[in-house]
């Protein structure tokens, strides 16, 4: 089976499983915890490939803390205290390792906390929106999943021009194709009565979410290229690791939540 076909089928399977968990907040939050821990582990492996591990226990506690505070709607109140504790623990414990790697070790730890922990909380915020959390979470997951699939399919069929050296197989045609397809999808799905979005809101949400999802994919590609590896892991057939599969969701969820405020779906 061609790699492109395997990637599409695996992507669809992962999307179906993910969508199934959304219908219950408990299963969805459990999935967010699982994705956070697996992504953090794979990111820690990339750091070790760079020659210096992060303060893994601190990062684990921090990522779990971010997600937990978001679930209980306490992050706005306690994020400052959480960040202070994380920063102190990171710099303090980092001194007990080799002094030569102190700079990188502390920097990698704080990067992991923000990149994995902070960005995953936006999906918790979306799912806990009163009355509309379920349908909006389904909406954003479909937009991001279709961005990944459309970019792969369009790029495989008509891609001719390289998008960036960071990820040589990605093409300008695939990127633009995904953008326009997801914009149209955002408009069409946005007209669903449960969302009651006007046409420009759906187009805007589709466009910004697609661009952010593609940016998230490229950022993770840059991290892998810097570490000298093709994939962050090997847990998902045809996609590499969990971080490889959900990199676009980290940026996409954040952008979608921000756009909900900008287009007036949520109060400013």
> Where exactly are the structural domains of the chain?
3-262
Residue 103 has pLDDT above 70, yes or no: yes
Residue 99 has pLDDT above 80, yes or no: no
Question: Looking at residue 267, what is its pLDDT?
Answer: 85
Is pTM beyond 0.85? Reply is yes
Question: Looking at residue 171, what is its pLDDT?
Answer: 93
Residue 234 confidence class, pLDDT cut points 50, 70, 90 = low
First to last CA, the chain: 48
Residue 237 has pLDDT above 60, yes or no: no
pLDDT digits (tens, 9 = 90+) for 246-255: 999 999 999 9
Question: Nearest 5°: CA angle at 76, between 70 and 81?
Answer: 95
pLDDT digits (tens, 9 = 90+) for 3-38: 667 766 776 777 788 889 999 999 999 999 999 999
Q: Hey, is 236 helix, strand or coil?
A: strand
Positive or negative, the Cα torsion across 131, 260, 209, 252?
negative
Average confidence score pLDDT of the chain: 90
Distance CA 211, CA 176 (A): 9
Residue 110 confidence class, pLDDT cut points 50, 70, 90 = very high
Question: Looking at residue 210, what is its pLDDT?
Answer: 98
Positive or negative, the Cα torsion across 66, 67, 72, 75?
positive
Residue 171 near residue 210 (C-beta atoms within 8 A): no
B/e letters for 148-178, b = 16+ CB within 10 Å, e = fewer, are bbbbbbbbbeebeeebeebbeebbebbbebb
Residue 101 confidence class, pLDDT cut points 50, 70, 90 = confident
């Amino acid at each position: 089976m061609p790699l492109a076909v395997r990637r599409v089928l695996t992507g669809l399977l992962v999307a179906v499983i993910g969508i199934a968990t959304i219908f219950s907040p408990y299963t969805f939050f459990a999935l967010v915890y699982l994705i956070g821990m697996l992504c953090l582990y794979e990111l820690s492996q990339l750091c070790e490939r760079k020659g210096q591990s992060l303060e893994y226990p601190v990062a684990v506690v921090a990522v779990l803390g971010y997600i937990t505070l978001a679930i209980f709607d306490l992050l706005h109140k306690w994020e400052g205290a959480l960040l202070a504790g994380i920063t102190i623990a990171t710099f303090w414990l980092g001194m007990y390792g080799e002094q030569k790697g102190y700079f990188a070790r502390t920097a990698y730890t704080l990067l992991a906390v923000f990149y994995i922990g902070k960005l995953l909380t936006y999906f918790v915020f979306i799912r806990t929106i009163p009355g509309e959390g379920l349908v909006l979470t389904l909406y954003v997951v479909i937009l991001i999943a279709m961005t990944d699939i459309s970019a792969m399919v369009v790029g495989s069929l008509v891609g001719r021009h390289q998008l960036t050296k960071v990820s040589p197989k990605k093409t300008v045609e695939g990127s633009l194709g995904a953008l326009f397809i997801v914009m149209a999808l955002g408009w069409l799905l946005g007209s669903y009565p449960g969302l009651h979005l006007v046409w420009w809101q759906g187009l805007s949400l589709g466009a910004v979410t697609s661009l952010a999802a593609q940016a998230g994919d490229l950022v993770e590609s840059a991290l892998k290229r810097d570490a000298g590896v093709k994939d962050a892991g090997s847990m998902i057939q045809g996609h590499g690791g969990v971080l490889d599969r959900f990199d676009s969701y980290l940026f996409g969820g954040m952008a979608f939540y921000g756009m909900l405020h900008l287009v007036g779906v949520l109060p400013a």
